[in-house]
Amino acid sequence: MKVSVVVFPGTNCEMDTKYAYEKLNADVELVFHKAEALPSDTDLVVLPGGFSYGDYLRSAAIAKFSPIMKDVIRFANEGGKVLGICNGFQMLLEMGLLDGAMKRNSNVHFISKYHHLRVINNDNKFLQKLNVGDVVNIPIAHGEGNYFIDEQGLEKLYANNQVLLKYADENGIDKNPNGSVDSIACICNEKRNVFGLMPHPERAIETLLGSSDGVKMLEGLMEG
C-alpha cells in the first residue's frame, strides 16, 4: 500500500506518521506542500499534525492554499482515502472536505496527554477493526481542538453516522477535554473516505510508550 504524507512548513508529526505506517509494512512517501500532484500510485493521503505555517491567522487557514491541496481535494472527490490528524483535521475543515470548524480549547490552554476515546461508529474503513463501544487510549496534543458545528449540522452528522469517536474516560463515559460539541473527537464525510480526528493514533503504536491502541485505526485504512 502506498501512503503519501503531506509535509508543510511547521509540520512536526510527519516522521511519526511515516514510522507508524512503515511499521505496518506500508510504502510511505513524504510529499512537500509545494508539489503540484500526489504520487500516481497513492492509496492513502495523510495530512499529519503540527503547526502548519505557525498557525498564523488560525490553524490550517494558510495550509489550504498550498499547491498540493488542489490534488488532495481531487483525490478525495474521486473517492481516495484521506486521513487528517490534528492539524490535518483542521485542514480538512478549512478546505470543506469535512463539516464544522475548530475553536480554541475551552480552557484556552494547550493540552498534551493521553486521553480515552469511545468508538461510536465502526461502519467505515478507519475503525472497521474496532467495535462500537470500545474504549481506546490515544494521545492528544492541541490548542485549537474545540470542534464546533451548528445544531443542524450536528443532526446531519448523526443521521449519516459520521460521528466516529468521542472523548471519554476509561469507562467510556463522556469526558470532554477541550469543549468540543457533544465531546466529538473524530468524524468522516458522507462517502466515508475522508476522516479527521484531533487525537494522534500514530503516537499510540508502541505499548512501551503507553499504548498500541492506534494500530487498529491505522490498519483499518490499509484494507480495501
Burial class (CB in 10 A: 0-12, 13-18, 19+), 162: buried
Q: Which is the catalytic residue, given 115, 116, 142, 200?
A: 200
- Which one of the listed residues 13, 86, 186, 188 is annotated catalytic? 86
142 included as an active-site residue = no
E-strand ranges in the chain read: 2-7, 27-32, 44-47, 81-85, 101-103, 111-119, 135-142, 146-148, 163-168, 184-188, 194-197
Catalytic choice (14, 94, 144, 202): 202
Give the separation between CA 215 and CA 195, rounded to whole angstroms: 16
Return the C-alpha cell found at 113. 496527554
Q: Residue 188 catalytic?
A: no
Look up 202 and say whether it is catalytic. yes
How far apart CA 222 and CA 135 sit, in angstroms, is 21
User: What are the catalytic residues?
Assistant: 86, 200, 202
